Amino acid sequence: MSIQRKKISIVGAGFTGATTALLLAQKELGDIVLIDIPQLENPTKGKALDILEAGPVQGFDSQITGTSNYEDAANSDIVIITAGIARKPGMSRDDLVNTNAGIVKSVCENVKKYAPDSIVIILSNPVDAMTYTAYQTLGFPKNRVIGQSGVLDTARYCTFIAQELNVSVEDVRGFVMGGHGDDMVPLVRYSSVGGIPIETLISQERIEAIVQRTRGGGGEIVNLLGNGSAYYAPAASLAQMTEAIVKDKKRIIPVIAYLEGEYGYQDLFLGVPTLLGGNGIEKVFELELTAEEKAALDQSAESVRSVIKIVTV
Ligand SMILES: NC(=O)c1ccc[n+]([C@@H]2O[C@H](COP(=O)([O-])OP(=O)(O)OC[C@H]3O[C@@H](n4cnc5c(N)ncnc54)[C@H](O)[C@@H]3O)[C@@H](O)[C@H]2O)c1
Ligand SMILES: O=C(O)C[C@H](O)C(=O)O
């Protein structure tokens, strides 16, 4: 018997792609292929080599290769798609839809050809619609096409709760559902600190402020950076999802999943709590929501659907 390391390809070797490669290597989750466009082949090789050379210092043996040739990604176990343009101040994620739909489609045609058995994680924005585009192009079963938003949005939400109470982030639990847009739905009723519901610790007014800051969390970073969007926390989120799959951890985390009737939605990708393991999305949890929570989720689902319409006409 020979035990093989996992092969993880990351398409898009920009800020999020390269940062994700470093985090995956640090965790030794597999060997990594970093792919970008032919015009950026040398910088991509340079980033890969630079990360590889951190290995002796940090004690990891993952191999990292830079390329623009999809043949190097052949038979990947996992493919992470970060290819595409990022927004700048004054833009919404939805403004990226036409450019990034073309990029995600062409990337997925190659993924389908060279890594037909892979589990694919999509980051490119507007991510709910891009996950739909990827699903249509790949033709893979729904458990193997996963969008990233909920881990990041939840991380922001938990950061703000921890700051508010001056407690460790490790003790904060909660999650964010819905689309990765300004009407995402942080589930306050399911949020706690050390097991104590946050509604008993934080005033309604302050909770509302935390919810609003979470919804605008991506935009807050875009405005501060001035020329791009967040990448450290997004890369950490991709690393957590990848680890859940590689180690078959059966984590319960919110990701963008294809819905066929769950929560009353058909043919839609939306952020929902899932069980993430070696087979990708192994289960979607359908929670009971109050009328108010369901109305908020309906509004978010409607926003996602309107962007999906743009990429499916
Ligand atoms: N879903 C989320 O939570 C989330 C979080 C952060 C960023 N994003 C999105 O991820 C995307 C990437 O963000 P970034 O900060 O890494 O941007 P970036 O500009 O730093 O990197 C994007 C990379 O994609 C490459 N690329 C473009 N077309 C390509 C193609 N056809 N094939 C291969 N590579 C291609 C570019 O050359 C570039 O290197 C953006 O769309 C951004 O909005 C989403
Ligand atoms: O806000 C963005 O455009 C990038 C990303 O979706 C984020 O939430 O940081």
Q: All domains of the chain, ordered by start, with CATH? A: 7-147 (3.40.50.720), 150-310 (3.90.110.10)
**Does 202 score more than 80 pLDDT?**
yes
- pLDDT bracket for residue 3 (50, 70, 90): confident
CA of 230 to the centre of ligand 2 (A): 6
**Does 313 score more than 80 pLDDT?**
no
> 17 CB less than 6 Å from ligand 1?
yes
Q: How far is CA 135 from the centre of its chain?
A: 15
Mean pLDDT in residue range 160-187? 98
Burial of 62 (0-12, 13-18, 19+ CB in 10 A): buried
Share of the chain above pLDDT 70, in %: 100
> 230 CB less than 6 Å from ligand 2?
yes
> What's the pLDDT at 129?
98
Please, which residues bridge with residue 119 across strands? 78
SS3 313: coil
Of the candidates 161, 212, 224, the residue with the CA atom closest to the CA atom of residue 183:
212
Q: What is the pLDDT of residues 237-255, one digit of tens each?
A: 999 999 999 999 999 999 9
**Does 56 score more than 80 pLDDT?**
yes
> What's the pLDDT at 54?
98
Q: Phi, psi at residue 299, to the nearest 5°?
A: -65, -40
> What's the pLDDT at 292?
97
CA of 82 to the centre of ligand 1 (A): 4
Q: Are 76 and 33 in contact (CB under 8 A)?
A: yes
Q: Which residues are annotated as a binding site for substrate?
A: 87, 93, 125, 156
Helices 15-26, 41-52: axis angle to 10 degrees equals 30
- Strand arrangement of the beta sheet that strand 192-193 belongs to: 172-173, 192-193, 196-197
CA-angle at 175, arms to 265 and 231, nearest 5°: 100
> What's the pLDDT at 1?
81
Residue length, the chain? 313
- pLDDT bracket for residue 304 (50, 70, 90): very high
Identity of residue 11: V
CA of 292 to the centre of ligand 1 (A): 35
> What's the pLDDT at 75?
97
Nearest residue (CA) to ligand 2, atom 6 = 218
Of the candidates 32, 46, 116, the residue with the CA atom closest to the CA atom of residue 82:
32
As for the ipTM of the complex, it is 0.99
Calculate Rg over the CA atoms of the chain: 19
Mean pLDDT in residue range 99-120? 98
Nearest-atom index, ligand 2, CA of 127: 6
CA of 132 to the centre of ligand 2 (A): 18
> 87 CB less than 6 Å from ligand 2?
yes
Nearest-atom index, ligand 1, CA of 127: 1
**Does 120 score more than 90 pLDDT?**
yes
Whole-number Cα distances in Å, 66 to 34, 42, 46, 69, 310? 5, 8, 7, 9, 33
Mean pLDDT in residue range 212-227? 98
> 70 CB less than 6 Å from ligand 1?
no
Q: What is the pTM of this model?
A: 0.98
> What's the pLDDT at 107?
98
Share of the chain above pLDDT 90, in %: 98
> 29 CB less than 6 Å from ligand 1?
no
Q: Which residues are annotated as a binding site for NAD(+)?
A: 12-17, 36, 100, 123-125
- pLDDT bracket for residue 85 (50, 70, 90): very high
Mean pLDDT in residue range 28-33? 98
- pLDDT bracket for residue 312 (50, 70, 90): confident
**Does 94 score more than 80 pLDDT?**
yes
Q: Which residues are annotated as a binding site?
A: 12-17, 36, 87, 93, 100, 123-125, 156
- Beta strands at 266-277 and 280-284: parallel, antiparallel or unpaired: antiparallel
User: How many other C-beta atoms lie within 10 A of the C-beta of residue 307?
Assistant: 23
- Of the ligands numbered here, which is closest to the C-alpha atom of 241? 1
Please, which residues bridge with residue 277 across strands? 280
